[in-house]
Amino acid sequence: MPWFAALAALFLFWILLRILDRICRFGGSLNAISGVLIAEVWRRKLLPVSGILLLAGILVLPWILGVDLADASERRTLLQYGQGWIGFVLLVVTMVMCCSTLSEEKSSGRLGFLSLRPGLPIWWLPGKWLGSLGSNLVLLIPASLLLLTQIQNPGSDWGNPATVLPISAQQFSVTEEDVDLFLLLKVEESPLEWGQLSEADAKIRARSYLHRQARSIPLGSSAYLDFKVGDDVREESTSEEALVLSIRPAMGRAHRSQIARILISGEDFETELLVTNGQRSELKIPQRMLLDGGVALEVAFLGAVDEEVRIPSLYWIDEEAVQLLVPMGTLGGSLLRSQLLLLARCAFVAALSLAVSTFLGFPVATLLVFCFLIAATGGGFVGAFEEEGPQTMVDPRQEASSRQVIDLLAQGGERIVRSLGEWEESSTAEQVSAGQFVSWNQVWRGGSILAGLWAGFALIVGTILLSRQEHSTGDQQ
């Protein structure tokens, strides 16, 4: 059966390529250039070889991983590795395809020769970019379908399971209004301590205090957790499926084997739960708790199970430490949206590769884009600039005019890096394999920033560079 599915996927791959080839035969310069790229990667065997590799990899993945497909958690492992394999092959193919095509055309003089045709410099890069997107789509569709069939093997009743949407507690987000209100109270309460601070310093301290307060529950006390569930989520979530509270508490310096008791209660619901330090625990919440605005719960910290151990407080390290999992959508849908985000990432790499190869040769251009991929996948962009947090110190020299230009540049750079951080955030493969819902909003955001904003920027820069260059129609230069 898997062999049959793989052959069917290969056939689909070929059919899609034929369709794409047909589409490229119509229209003007843009389509013509796209068609040439597709013919190039097909006839130079890059596309067939990578297609066969991609499908063969997915086919043998269960055997390599040694997973038992009857087990749901192992199927998730296969899903995760499968998506990783598809992403890897697609990104590498995109990079090689886009870096080689333009640099070879430049060095052979073909670009100079073809740029003698009217209107071409404008369409050259976008045409190649669309061609690479088409090639990616031809690889992505059969590979994703094959992966789905691998997971939904007929021996299991897994079908197309529901996914969940994780919602963080409202208390974790500290707004400007919260800070202002807190400051107002504090200044009135202890004017000597808070009233002496400058406004900026006071706000930083207040925010820091509120952050700590929102995330910890001292021994013997309780905290409220409000989960706001949007209308669209309430409409889509199926009433048969229960809500799940997923928590991962931290217990300070206590050993990670320590177990604590917490009491979770709602309107007509109360249950005690044993939680382990740093481990995730799940608790089913009745569907009736989902009211108009969302779900409201109270969490009380009752102390360690071992009476000899004293744990002063329990706290949540990040927003993901406490989440309400609301059933929403299906795995198939989430996988589809996740693959669209992968396509957006490929679109960005394609544009970047094309722009870089307008002024660099194939090996150097590939190396440069490869370095970019390493930085991006390693989370380099996300971690490069930490958000302005409570510890941020105000530099007194900041007011100096000589610093202002540098600061302005630094802020601009920070914005760019933050925006590029979308690269990391648009990687939803883990979300899908964890059974989480991938929303259209994520696709829209990732697609517009990576495939729209950044790819567009790279293509415009590349086109300008290309139009400013001198060309030749041979190797005489």
Q: For binding to other proteins (CB under 8 A), which residues are involved?
A: 28-29, 31-33, 35-36, 39-40, 43-44, 108-110, 112-120, 470-477
The separation between CA 30 and the C-alpha centre of its own chain, rounded to angstroms, equals 31
Residue number, 231 or 475, with CB nearest to other proteins = 475
CB of 474 to other proteins, least distance (A): 4
Helix (H, G, I), strand (E, B) or coil at 57: helix
Tokens 């790499």, residue located? 349
CB of 137 to other proteins, least distance (A): 21
Residue number, 12 or 23, with CB nearest to other proteins = 23
Residue number, 49 or 400, with CB nearest to other proteins = 49
Query: Please, which residues bridge with residue 246 across strands?
Result: 282, 323
Residue number, 22 or 280, with CB nearest to other proteins = 22
CB of 122 to other proteins, least distance (A): 10
CB of 50 to other proteins, least distance (A): 16
Side by side, the strands of the sheet bearing 270-276 are 222-228, 294-304, 259-265, 270-276
Name the burial class of residue 2, with classes exposed (0-12), middle (13-18) and buried (19+) by CB atoms within 10 angstroms of its CB: middle
* Separation CA 112–CA 474 (nearest Å): 8
Residue number, 82 or 131, with CB nearest to other proteins = 131
Residue number, 105 or 422, with CB nearest to other proteins = 105
Query: Please, which residues bridge with residue 218 across strands?
Result: 313
* Separation CA 144–CA 150 (nearest Å): 10
Could you tell me which of 289, 246, 249 has the C-alpha nearest to residue 435? 246
Residue number, 42 or 158, with CB nearest to other proteins = 42
Residue number, 114 or 283, with CB nearest to other proteins = 114
Where do the H-state alpha helices sit in 312-454?
Answer: 331-356, 362-377, 380-384, 401-420, 422-425, 429-433, 440-446
CB of 356 to other proteins, least distance (A): 19
CB of 93 to other proteins, least distance (A): 17
Q: For CA atoms 18, 19, 22, 26, give the dihedral sign.
A: negative
CB of 43 to other proteins, least distance (A): 4
Torsion of CA 309, 313, 319, 320, to 10 degrees: 10
CB of 465 to other proteins, least distance (A): 15
* Separation CA 402–CA 379 (nearest Å): 33
Number of neighbouring beta carbons within 10 Å of residue 215: 21
Could you tell me which of 363, 354, 341 has the C-alpha nearest to residue 128? 354
- DSSP state, residue 280: -
CB of 470 to other proteins, least distance (A): 5
- DSSP state, residue 197: S
Calculate Rg over the CA atoms of the chain. 27
Residue number, 113 or 457, with CB nearest to other proteins = 113
Residue number, 411 or 472, with CB nearest to other proteins = 472
Q: How many helices (H) and strands (E) does the chain have?
A: 18, 10
CB of 368 to other proteins, least distance (A): 19
